[in-house]
Amino acid sequence: MSQRILLVEPAYKNKYPPLGLMKLASFHRNRKDDVYFVKGMDRDVADQTWDRIYVSTLFTFYWNQTIDTIKFYTSHSKGNPQVFVGGVMATLMEEELKASTGATVVVGLMNTPGCLILDGDEAVDTAIPDYSIIDPGVNHLLNYNYPVADAYIGYATRGCIRHCPFCAVPTIERDYEPYVDLVRQVTGIEKAYGPKRNLLLMDNNVLASKQFRRIISEIKSLGFGQGASLTREVNGRQSSVLRHVDFNQGIDSRLLTNENMQLLSEIAIDPLRIAFDHVELAKTYCRQVRLAAKWHIRHLSNYVLFNYEDAPVDLYRRLRINVDLNKEFAAKDLKTRVWSFPMRFCPVVGPESKDRRHIGPLWTAKQLRGVRSILAATHGVVGPKKDFFLRAFGRDVDEFLHILDMPEDFIVHRMLHERNGDTEWLQGLINGVSREERDHLQDMIASNKPRERLLTTSDPSLRVILDAYAHSEKPRRTSDLDPPST
């Protein structure tokens, strides 16, 4: 007897569709069940009778939104459905999720018998994902477009050989699998849903695999060699578009060699992602980026972790290294360009993991807010243009630290405030207070709570300064530091 199955993803914004739910849809449809997928909380959907409800989870800082979503469907759905919660947060916070929702928590991968209390459920993880549930043209319940939907999404390996303390992968994918049949995944998707433009691989450490050469060979055989394109009919005409391969989780720079960089250059990789988490690894990192340039890999989008054990000056130096590498490549007439993708660290477990408020030991709340304000002009990505970088982030470390301490609106709309004389006026006020008052002011600014500090401060000089900070909170997010076209 068929069951009514509801798949739910909370309403947070995300680029990538929920692969686990897509595999569950395929698994249940093979069992002849009726499957529905919705994003967010839909009262009309919740009020129906369901046999099973599956809710996916992502990062732990989505805790409140995820819990609200689970409780919404648990309280409104008819038929006393079984509720299952899986994914990243579910694996990392199993007991807390159980206590908060009463749901059945699925830990890790859906590849062990009994994980869903169904016969054959160990096959879910290897199921061909159901793309129809993420197509608004097919799924009338879906009012959301995933930016990355026109791609084969899969794995060539699973797990990671590293155990970085800030990473959840060893908990979620506990055993390293050096080879997963990529051909089966891609051909299965294509047979069911037609050809996709790109190849998105979610591997956490593909270079650790002794089967890496084989994996590259398979990627090329699937139509994703260097310069690969896909021809489609658009409005009655044949149109050709370039294809891209993206190892989205990044590759391990410590395992990069001339040989495997050459192999990467043989596929349509765009972008290549290399993590630059510690400024102490600058020499190794620069060597690997230059290696990519040697093999004519043109586009690098590199993760830059901050707010962990680093300091603000470390972030600036890493971003500056990437900008200087771009200048070096341009001078040599190399086409390689490096984009920096700053990633703010948030704990994956513990009391600070349920939101994004964690402040690293060498950071302040105001400095973190300052970085966010600078990135408003670049949509979170730092491009290769040096002139813009020096303007946005400062010509040196001292200027960068000064920018971070400016009122938020002064950062986001810097050109306006400089033109109006506001920046010079405020700096004059700050320079006019005593050394003791300035130290006290610095502590108050660091807390990033200017309104609260204003209410508790009687010093008239400091009140004028704090008032400027208080009135610049939550500015319009459109920055006047428009980055040049790249």
- CA gap 413, 199 in Å, rounded: 39
Element (H, E) at 154: strand 151-154
Q: Which of 54, 52, 35, 36 is nearest to 105 (CA)?
A: 54
Name the residue with tokens 């009262």.
Answer: 43
- For residues 196 and 151, is the Cβ–Cβ distance under 8 A? yes
Query: How distant is the alpha carbon of residue 54 from its chain centre?
Result: 23
Q: What is the pLDDT of residue 229?
A: 97
In the chain, which segments carry CATH 3.20.20? Answer: 145-408
Sheet strands side by side (includes 245-247): 151-154, 198-201, 245-247
Q: Across-strand partners of 17?
A: none
Burial 315-338 (b: 16+ CB within 10 A, else e): bbebbbbbbebbeebeeeebebbb
Residue with the two structure tokens 């002064």: 410
Q: Which helix (H) or strand (E) holds 425?
A: helix 422-432
CA distance 182 to 171: 23
Residue 321 to residue 290: CA distance in whole angstroms: 12
pTM for this one?
Answer: 0.92
**Would you state the pLDDT for residue 482?**
65
Query: For tokens 């243009």, what's the residue?
Result: 385
pLDDT at 351: 80
Which single residue is written with the structure tokens 């096959």? 123
CATH 3.40.50.280 boundaries in the chain: 4-126
Query: Minimal CA–CA distance to 291: which of 240, 336, 349?
Result: 336
CATH class, range 4-126: alpha beta
Helix ranges restricted to H, 93-211: 94-101, 169-172, 182-193
Q: Which two tokens stand for residue 146?
A: 């995933």
Residue with tokens 């400027």: 468
* Whole-number Å distance between alpha carbons of 184 and 165: 34
Fold of the domain built from segment(s) 145-408 = TIM Barrel (3.20.20)
Q: What is the pLDDT of residue 475?
A: 60
Residues 6 or more apart whose Cβ sits within 8 Å of residue 176: 157, 158, 159, 160, 161, 205, 208
Q: What is the pLDDT of residue 273?
A: 97
pLDDT of residue 485: 52
Question: Which pair of structure tokens corresponds to residue 137?
Answer: 């043209």
* pLDDT values of the chain reduced to their tens digit, one per residue, 486 residues: 899 999 999 999 999 999 999 999 999 999 999 999 999 999 999 999 999 999 999 999 999 999 999 999 999 999 899 999 999 999 999 999 999 999 999 999 999 999 999 999 999 999 999 999 999 999 999 999 999 999 999 999 999 999 887 788 888 898 999 999 999 999 999 999 999 999 999 999 999 999 999 999 999 999 999 999 999 888 888 999 999 999 999 998 889 999 999 999 999 999 999 999 999 999 999 999 999 999 999 999 999 999 999 999 999 999 999 999 999 999 999 999 999 999 999 998 888 899 999 999 999 999 999 999 999 888 899 999 999 999 999 999 999 999 999 999 999 999 999 999 999 999 998 999 888 888 888 888 888 888 888 778 888 888 888 888 888 766 656 787 766 555
Q: What is the dihedral of CA 136, 104, 101, 30, to 10 degrees?
A: 20
